[in-house]
Amino acid sequence: MPFTLQSKTALITGAGRGIGRAIAEKLAAAGASVLINDLDAVPAAEACQAVRASGARAEVLAGDITRPDFPQKLVDRTIAVFGGLDIIVNNAGYTWDNVIQKTSDEQFQAMLDIHITAPFRVLRAASTFIRETAKREMAEGRRNMRKVVNITSIAGTEGNPGQVGYSSGKAGVIGLTRTLAKEWGRYHVNVNCVGFGLIETRLIQPLTGAAANIEVQGRQIAVGVQPKVLESVKSMCPLGRAGTPDEAAGAVLFFCSPLSDYVTGEVLICSGGLHF
């Protein structure tokens, strides 16, 4: 590997399953210590144990990232446990789909809360540490690059019928990313986005009978895709398949690594060439 993340600390939201867990495992394999967050305590603990079993350092703080007070607790816990914060990956998210005339205010707001408001609060919570630490490092003649990676989607870059809330939230995080890239460049922080296409997670599982549900804040939200629709989308992809969580995590690893030290404010699409 042409780089190492030894001595780096990473905070990853939504890291109990799927892409988030793959990101945690990849960063840990590169040498980083990781703080794993997920809404669900059991998968968060399992992901933490898996990272520890590989020989890396990991801690866990389960909880709802959309609660106004939780992002600050998450940032504070990371710094308290590991003594610093070098990488933030805002990955937590889910889909709650419908066409606009069937989308309630609650449904639309829920998508904004998880995909744009929560990342904003995490980054605001981290801002004091990042600014003060960078100023101290610069006064000592050191330049330590820190990394922020926000997760977007081709639904956010191009729109997707039936996903008015999800697409709006994922588009919003691109604006957040590009603004923070300009605000935080002076503090030696690279702020970038990775936009995913069709990745094999529980959100795109084939619907073979009754709809599968995930529970979020007491709501039962149907997820999954009709098999015919899923196959149709795969056929539109130049690579002819969905991506794996490990492949998705690879794109994030690039932005967390020294290989991207002169890249900021960018959106890297990881979709196998798929465009809606």
Query: Coil, strand or helix: which one is 234?
Result: helix
Q: For residue 31, which phi and psi values (nearest 5 degrees)?
A: 115, -5
Tokens encoding 167: 């697409």
User: Cα(25)–Cα(250) distance, rounded to whole angstroms?
Assistant: 11
257 secondary structure, DSSP code = S
Residue whose C-alpha is closest to residue 18's, from 32, 39, 3, 2: 39
Measured from the Cβ of residue 11, the count of other Cβ atoms closer than 10 Å reads: 26
Residue whose C-alpha is closest to residue 215's, from 223, 207, 205, 204: 223
The question of whether 187 is a catalytic residue gets the answer no
Query: Coil, strand or helix: which one is 164?
Result: helix
Q: For residue 157, which phi and psi values (nearest 5 degrees)?
A: -85, -30
Annotated catalytic residue: which of 94, 166, 187, 262? 166
Query: Coil, strand or helix: which one is 252?
Result: helix
User: Cα(169)–Cα(47) distance, rounded to whole angstroms?
Assistant: 26
91 secondary structure, DSSP code = -
Catalytic sites, residue numbers: 166
